[in-house]
A and B are shown apart, each in its own frame.
Chain A
Amino acid sequence: MTSGFRALHPVTLFLFYGGLLLCGMLLFHPVFLLTGIVLLVSLIVIQKHGGTIVKMLPLYLLIGIAIVVINPLISHRGRYILFYFMDQPITLESVLYGVTMLLSLTLILLTSLSYNYNVTTDKFMYLFARLVPQSALVVMMALRFVPLLRRRLSQITLVQRTRGISVHEGSLTKRMRDGMTLVKVLLVWSLEEALQSADSMKARGYGTTKRTAYVVHRMDRRDRWLTGCLSILILVIMVGSALGWGRAVIYPRMQSMVFSMEDWILYVCFGIYMLIPVIVEGKEWLSWKYSK
């Protein structure tokens, strides 16, 4: 049973994540990004899939350290020199730029984590099946084929091993060649069978009329409200950032990080935007906890 933020209409969810991705790229300011990260992490934790963050951590640390360390070493732009490392000036600006870049990337990666959890493949398909029916059908079928093919591949491997064709023994060349023999058997078998299912699709009337889809999602009042709010906020953020608000000026010379009036407006908008899912999710949690 899905509830809370997950239960919103796919259009609303997709809009939220699209906008969030945009914010992560547009709002190049450590304070904005940090706020976004904190609120997104709290959403992930409330939704109880914090484990995905832990799983991503090693890869993330690798990239993160690379960015933060490499940027000051390569880029010597900026005015305030912190210290010299092997005769290379390390500037405050380049360190700060690296950190901000890292925050931006963090927000984007967290967005994709949360997206994968909330917008499942079937919701994605619901959104695009009517817009691009043929491509959506191909993706859906390919998705279904993947587990089937893996099962078949293990059967083929089992049978071919009796003939001495195996990827586990012999030289590297032999193993790669054998691997490709297995894939070729898979190809012939699967294509033959795929064409049969296509004929069966055709026999049942595929392509005779426009393709219809069973619609499980209904746009209710809350969805419409939230969609409206999100759209307005995104619009404000985009226009504002086009006017240069909410952007830390780092190069060529760092300028004050203190918010101006315009930055505050943008910050409040962004804060509300990020709070919406947390509130939706938190309300559900509270009413569940205190309803007994």
Chain B
Amino acid sequence: MARSRLWLMIAVGLSILVLALSNAVLSDHYMLLSFVLLMAVMLPLFVRFERRKLEARELVLLAMLAAIAAVSRIPFAALPSVKPVSAIVILSALVFGSEAGFIVGAMAALVSNIYFGQGPWTPWQMFAWGMMGVSAGLLRNTWWMRKRLGLLTFGLIWGFLFGWIMNLWVVIDLAVALEWKAVLAVYAQSFYFDLAHALSNVFFLAILAGGWIKVLERFRKKYGLLDSG
């Protein structure tokens, strides 16, 4: 019963997806297209997470990291673009791997927006922070990320990337007609905000890196958390 219902739901979901996608492509609905693509990118990551049977400890750890990242956004709410969330997501991913990084990043966006207000930007933020976590986790064993300077550069780059991804939301959803001049104007306008985000990333990573990695590593070793990931 439950199984057949699940398949039915998957079938219905797929048919809606196909219909929406064809609709979007056929008549230039970029907003819809972007929504569908975002979901399509994040879905496999969530499915993979669901398929891994995690211990209670690991789930609680992920929830706690996401909550800390979300809470850290609150005291800085007055300063736009200064978001310690990015630094916390990157550090969590460095210690616990890319999958954990994705979950912490995506969940932090979802949870903190319950306080800051949900809207069409939520999936974009989930995507941007999730991908930040994934990339930090994938690169964690390279010599580059082991170096302090490399880590700071990584934070700097992602400060800009995050802004650029969120600009896509502005460009697509507020679509001031898709023209190059308009797109360029949006990207030029956001430069200082992106710079502020990038610099605050560097700052937070510089302060946090040593201490937090030590703390998180200690927890990982002591409790044997997320070892394979």
A residues with a Cβ closer than 8 A to B are 22, 25-26, 28, 63, 66-67, 70-71, 74-75, 77, 94, 97-98, 101, 105, 108-109, 112, 115-116, 121, 131-135, 137-143, 145-146, 149-150, 153, 167, 176-177, 179-180, 183-184, 186-188, 190-191, 194-195, 197-199, 201-202, 206-207, 238-239, 241-242, 244, 247, 251
Beta-carbon contact of A135 and B74 below 8 Å:
no
B84: A residues at CB distance < 8 A: 180, 183
Beta-carbon contact of A105 and B177 below 8 Å:
no
Which of A71, A94, A142, A183 contacts B70, CB < 8 Å?
A142
Beta-carbon contact of A142 and B181 below 8 Å:
no
- Give the most central of A77, A206, A242: most B CB within 10 Å: A242
B177: A residues at CB distance < 8 A: 71, 74-75, 77, 94, 97, 251
What is the bound-complex CA distance between A67 and B208, given in angstroms? Answer: 40
B19: A residues at CB distance < 8 A: 238-239, 242
Known: A105-B174, A132-B50. 19 other contacts (CB 8 A): A67-B176, A74-B181, A108-B120, A112-B120, A137-B63, A138-B66, A138-B103, A146-B67, A149-B67, A153-B71, A183-B72, A186-B68, A186-B71, A191-B219, A194-B60, A194-B64, A198-B55, A206-B56, A242-B22
**Nearest Cβ on chain A to B159's Cβ, whole angstroms:** 16
Beta-carbon contact of B60 and A141 below 8 Å:
yes
Beta-carbon contact of A26 and B32 below 8 Å:
yes
With A108-B120, A145-B67 known as contacts, the answer to whether A207 contacts B56 (CB < 8 A) is yes
A-B contact pairs, 16 of them (CB 8 A): A25-B32, A26-B32, A97-B177, A101-B175, A109-B120, A133-B50, A138-B107, A141-B63, A142-B64, A149-B68, A167-B75, A183-B68, A187-B68, A195-B57, A198-B55, A242-B23
Chain A interface helix/strand/loop/mixed: helix
Residue B193, interface by CB 8 Å: no
Residue B53, interface by CB 8 Å: yes
Residue B195, interface by CB 8 Å: no
Beta-carbon contact of A74 and B179 below 8 Å:
yes
Beta-carbon contact of A150 and B71 below 8 Å:
yes
A94: B residues at CB distance < 8 A: 177
Beta-carbon contact of B174 and A132 below 8 Å:
no
Residue of A nearest to B43 (CB): A132
Per CB-CB distance, the 9 closest pairs between chain A and chain B, nearest first, are A145-B67, A141-B63, A198-B60, A198-B57, A194-B64, A142-B67, A198-B56, A201-B56, A142-B63
Beta-carbon contact of B60 and A201 below 8 Å:
yes
Residue of B nearest to A180 (CB): B207
With A74-B185, A112-B118, A153-B71 known as contacts, the answer to whether A138 contacts B176 (CB < 8 A) is no
**Nearest Cβ on chain A to B14's Cβ, whole angstroms:** 14
Beta-carbon contact of B53 and A207 below 8 Å:
yes
Residue B188, interface by CB 8 Å: no
What is the bound-complex CA distance between A169 and B10, given in angstroms? Answer: 56
Beta-carbon contact of B63 and A22 below 8 Å:
no
Which B residues, 3 to 30, have Cβ-Cβ distances below 8 Å to chain A? Answer: 9, 19-20, 22-23, 26-27, 29
What is the bound-complex CA distance between A188 and B68, given in angstroms? Answer: 11
Which B residues, 24 to 57, have Cβ-Cβ distances below 8 Å to chain A? Answer: 26-27, 29, 31-32, 35, 46, 49-50, 52-57
Which of A150, A177, A244 contacts B27, CB < 8 Å?
A244
Chain B interface, number of residues (Cβ within 8 angstroms): 63
What is the bound-complex CA distance between A202 and B54, given in angstroms? Answer: 12
A131: B residues at CB distance < 8 A: 9
Beta-carbon contact of B64 and A25 below 8 Å:
no
Beta-carbon contact of B185 and A146 below 8 Å:
no
Residue B128, interface by CB 8 Å: no
B residues with a Cβ closer than 8 A to A are 9, 19-20, 22-23, 26-27, 29, 31-32, 35, 46, 49-50, 52-57, 59-64, 66-68, 70-72, 74-75, 84, 103, 107-108, 110-111, 114-115, 118-120, 173-177, 179, 181-182, 185, 203-204, 207-208, 211-212, 215, 219, 223
**Nearest Cβ on chain B to A201's Cβ, whole angstroms:** 4
**Nearest Cβ on chain A to B13's Cβ, whole angstroms:** 10
A202: B residues at CB distance < 8 A: 55-57
A183: B residues at CB distance < 8 A: 68, 72, 84
B61: A residues at CB distance < 8 A: 191, 194-195, 198
Beta-carbon contact of B212 and A187 below 8 Å:
yes
- Give the most central of A98, A190, A198: most B CB within 10 Å: A198
Beta-carbon contact of B212 and A176 below 8 Å:
no
Beta-carbon contact of B174 and A149 below 8 Å:
no
Residue of B nearest to A235 (CB): B19
What is the bound-complex CA distance between A255 and B27, given in angstroms? Answer: 17
Beta-carbon contact of A145 and B63 below 8 Å:
yes
Residue of A nearest to B25 (CB): A242
What is the bound-complex CA distance between A190 and B29, given in angstroms? Answer: 45
